[in-house]
Amino acid sequence: MDNQKADSNEKERDKITLDLLTLVGENSDVTQRSLALEIGIALGLANTYLRRCVDKGLVKIQQVPRNRYSYYLTPQGFSEKARITAEYFKSSFLLFRKARREFENILTECDASEKKEIILSDISDIAEIAILASLGLNPSIIGVIGDTKKSSFSGVKVIKENNLDDNFDVVIITSLQNSMSRYDHLK
């Protein structure tokens, strides 16, 4: 469990660093306050991360008139940004593949138990993965519950919750938050 927490903390630090490097790379006139607001962290934490980036040689500071500073990415900063981005994509693809395999297993179980018409509980990234996993498999995802003006999501019909009828066999929870309370609500 401690390794998981350490990995989670490192990923959060990398995410903040990546966001900071991205923002500095896009606008050298960015302020610490605007960095903090854009990243969604406290001003003091933005200052700490910026100082770490300067200490590591990732960002260079140059004073400009009127007590202001400009921040520039160094070649090492560009390299670190690329490394963190690659790590992010690697972990994202691993998560995607794992989720797709899980949905393939769920859909295969549905097929084996004669559950052919499936509805997804919510419009989300997880729902999109479920839809992709269903391609080429027997069970059919016939709808996704959502409160949107769009009539489809990733090629699947969007159904308003109050218009839900009994013409389905299974609802798969695809809520990204509070999945247990979503399950209780739909039950």
50: Cβ contacts below 8 Å, ≥ 6 apart: 20, 32, 35, 59, 71
pTM: 0.65
Give the model confidence (pLDDT) of 105-118 as tens digits.
999 999 999 998 99
Residue 127 has pLDDT above 90, yes or no: yes
Q: What is the pLDDT of residue 165?
A: 81
Specify the pLDDT at position 6: 73
pLDDT tens digits, one per residue of 134-187: 988 888 899 999 887 888 999 999 998 888 887 899 999 998 888 888 888 887
Give residue 104's pLDDT band: very low, low, confident or very high (50, 70, 90): very high
Question: What is the β-pairing status of strands 140-145 and 156-159?
Answer: parallel
156-159/152-153 β-pairing: antiparallel
Longest dimension (CA), the chain: 72
- State the pLDDT at residue 2: 67
pLDDT at 1 over 60: no
- 63 pLDDT band, cuts 50/70/90, is confident
Residue 143's DSSP bridge partners are 119
Give the separation between CA 58 and CA 81, rounded to whole angstroms: 9
Residue at token pair 């498999």? 137
- What is the C-alpha to C-alpha distance for residues 71 and 61, in angstroms, rounded to an integer? 5
Residues 19 and 59 sit within 8 Å (Cβ to Cβ)? no
Nearest CA-CA partner of 106 in 126, 128, 78, 130:
130
**pLDDT surpasses 90 at 23:** yes
Tokens of 84: 């963190």
Q: Compute the distance between CA of residue 101 and CA of residue 48 in angstroms, rounded to an integer.
A: 40
